[in-house]
Each structure stands twice: as C-alpha cells, then as structure tokens.
C-alpha cells in the first residue's frame, strides 16, 4: 500500500511517499514558490542523490502535476503508475469543533473545512486548494483529512473558552483550538515509550519550537491546554508571529497609524515575533550569528523568546500538578542546544535539571534524554514525525480500523519502533 502525504502551504507543497507494507519512506520532497516566479522542486530518496529542478508553478494544481511527474520519472521517480497510490493524506490546519479525528474527504467534509477557513486564513485556503487540486489530479484515490486541531479537542471548557461575551462562542466559534496537534500527539506517545509508561500514565509539557511555536500541557496522555488559540497567532514568540500581546495594542495602533484589518494581520503574522524584534532576522541561526557579532537586538530577541517559553513551562507545570517530562521538538527544539539551555535554566526548583554536556551533544535528530541523572523531571529531545501520524490515520481509515486518538494505538507506541 503506497500512501502520498501532502502538506499544502500558501506557496509550497510538501510531500512524502510511504510504503506501508515495507514500513519505509520511499521519498520526500517539496515544490517551493508556488504562485511565485522562480518555482522549483526538491526531491529526495533515501540513499540516493537529491534531485532538484526549476519549473514554474502558478497554482497548486500545477505543483501537484509537477510532483506526480517527478514521482513517475524513469530516472529518479519511485512509482510506475499513479494507480499505485492507494490514498492521499492531507494536512488541514483548522477543523473547528466539528472534527475531532481524521476523516475521509467527501463534499460535505470539504464544505465544512471551507466553513471554518476564516479561523485560519493563512493556512486553510491553501489546504483547501491542495485538496481540490489533488482530487482533480488523482480522482480515483481516496483523500483523507488529518487535522492539526483534532488532538486538542480534549481540552476542558475552562481551558478553551475566552473571557469575552459568551455569545461569540455560540455565534462564531470564538474559542481556543490549538495547533501542531499531530506533532504533539507523536512526541507525547514517544515520550511515554521513553519513560516506560503507557500514554495515559504520563503528564508532559511538549514544546514544538520551529518557525511556528506551540506548547501543550498533556495530562494522562491527552491535551488539556495549549498555547495557540483561535488561530496560530496566540502563544509564544515565533519567527514572524507576535504571540501573546495586550489586545489594546491593536486598538492603540489603529488610532496612531490608522491601520486597516489586512495591514494589522500582515504585521502581527508576518512582521512581528523574532523578525519584529531584530528588524532583520526570523531564522534563529541568523540571530545567533548576529548576537555573536554584538547585535543587541538579536540578543534581546533570544532573551524575550526564551523567557516567554520559560513562563509557559511554569504555567503548565502548575496546571498539570506534576510533570513527568519536558519534551522539545521541531527544528529549533531538536537542534538548538543554546535555546534549550536558556529556556530551561533556573528551573531546578521545579525539578527540572538539565545536563549541559548531554544537551550540547543532542543536535543529531535522535531521541535523547538530556536531563541530569538526578532530575525529577526528565527532559527529552524527540524529533517529530507528523507524516507518520498522517500515514497511519490514512491506512487505518482505509482498513476500517480507525478510532479517535484517545482510543487508538499507533505503531510508534511500541518500544521497539524505529523510524
């Protein structure tokens, strides 16, 4: 069974082809700059040379055609016919309250996804475009939606409701939804394995730190609170997103600058965060270089980011009552040992003790315990694998075995599982 996993962004389409029978990744890749001049594809196969090529992709349909042509190419392709693709799994960022688990996409499901696209205006429209394009290019294959928000549907009302007029929730669905759900699901299940416990026996703080950042409080294996909210804008300081701010700042700046809604949306989502503080950089590697060169605003950005992460750890430790482990994942969480050290320093009174040597060595994207031997709370670095969640959900739906994640056991929950 060959599964194609797709993650369609506004200007990119990431893909992964997985052979379920062999339990192996066949290839991964990305079509970049979709809808922008200078489009190209990067195609990688395990143990073989990376293939790259320039090809204009004015929309997602053309990008998906390019991906299929690449998969079928006699020199560097991985399949002989599109009929070999058993199903397509689609990442959908926002499922609102309707979707608590992955589902087979029919017209009703697609319309429901469209109905909540205003809750994730940067993400759901390209997700929808990708689904429509893929269904047109691969009309015979089943298409399945995997939602970022599904894992967080276990949050209680006290965590997901805002202290705004209650009618807003009933009329417009204004509440906390949370994101990066497949990542938090994967690393929380792997953390349970590393701790030698069942998923429903662990309390965790999982920290997905990439360009987008979200922190989740996992109690007895389920999400009970998370930092992102109605949209992915709330929460920690991110690459270009502001995270938590005083809402009155928006009113204040409208009065001072006369901003329109679309201008503020662009500023808060694309010109704030680390980029807003430094004025130049959103990539933490660039910020580290600038900081080493004496750039004070780069240094300030690091201090603000790690301070805010530290505050979330404290808040979620209080919400959970006790914590078995802190889990670091995603690009910076997995590779940036300096960010981890600054975030976790000074938390010894909470039972969180980092081993500096282990931390400095943990940059090779392997599951690693970087806590001191006498640390009551373990500190784990776990490379995320959102795609395997996609793949397993797709296969289990095709086989009629799928259940909501609170009742479903994934293959990566087995102690002997290897990526």
Residues annotated as catalytic (active site), given as ranges: 148
Report CA torsion sign: 56, 62, 67, 70.
negative
Q: How far apart are CA 65 and CA 67, in angstroms?
A: 5
Q: How far apart are CA 20 and CA 46, in angstroms?
A: 16
Q: Which of 224, 225, 221 is nearest to 197 (CA)?
A: 221
Any bridge partners for residue 219, and if so which?
Answer: 222
| Token duo for residue 206 | 């999982």
């Amino acid at each position: 069974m060959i599964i194609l996993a797709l993650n369609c962004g506004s200007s990119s389409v990431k893909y992964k082809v997985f052979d379920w029978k062999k339990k192996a990744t066949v290839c991964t890749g990305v079509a970049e700059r979709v809808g922008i001049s200078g489009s190209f594809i990067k195609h990688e196969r395990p143990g073989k040379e990376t293939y790259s090529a320039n090809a204009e992709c004015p929309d997602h349909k053309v990008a998906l055609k390019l991906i299929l042509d690449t998969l079928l190419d006699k020199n560097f392709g991985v399949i002989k016919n599109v009929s070999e693709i058993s199903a397509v799994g689609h990442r959908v960022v926002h499922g609102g309250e309707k979707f608590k688990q992955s589902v087979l996409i029919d017209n009703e499901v697609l319309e429901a996804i469209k109905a909540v696209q205003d809750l994730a205006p940067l993400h759901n429209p390209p997700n929808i475009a990708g689904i429509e394009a893929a269904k047109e290019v691969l009309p015979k294959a089943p298409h399945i939606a995997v939602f970022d928000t599904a894992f967080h549907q276990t949050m209680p009302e006290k965590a997901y409701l805002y202290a705004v007029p209650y009618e807003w929730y009933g009329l417009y669905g204004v509440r906390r939804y949370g994101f990066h759900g497949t990542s938090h699901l994967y690393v929380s299940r792997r953390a349970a394995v590393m701790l030698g416990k069942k998923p429903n026996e662990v309390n965790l703080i999982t920290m997905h730190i990439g360009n987008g950042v979200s922190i989740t409080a996992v109690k007895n294996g389920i999400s009970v609170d998370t930092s992102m909210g109605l949209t992915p804008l709330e929460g920690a300081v991110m690459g270009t997103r502001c995270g938590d701010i005083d809402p009155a700042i928006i009113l204040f700046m409208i009065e001072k600058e006369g901003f329109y809604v679309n201008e503020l949306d662009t500023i808060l989502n694309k010109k704030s965060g680390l980029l807003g503080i430094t004025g130049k950089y959103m990539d933490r590697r660039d910020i580290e270089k600038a900081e080493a060169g004496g750039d004070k605003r780069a240094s300030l950005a690091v201090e603000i980011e790690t301070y805010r992460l530290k505050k979330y750890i404290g808040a979620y430790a209080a919400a959970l009552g006790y914590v078995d482990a802190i889990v670091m994942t995603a690009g910076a969480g997995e590779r940036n040992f300096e960010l981890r050290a600054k975030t976790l320093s000074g938390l010894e009174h909470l039972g969180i003790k980092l081993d500096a040597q282990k931390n400095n060595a943990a940059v090779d994207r392997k599951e690693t315990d970087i806590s001191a031997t006498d640390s009551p709370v373990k500190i784990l670095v776990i490379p995320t694998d959102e795609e395997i969640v996609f793949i397993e959900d797709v296969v289990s739906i095709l086989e009629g075995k799928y259940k909501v994640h609170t009742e479903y056991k994934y293959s990566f929950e087995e102690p002997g599982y290897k990526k």
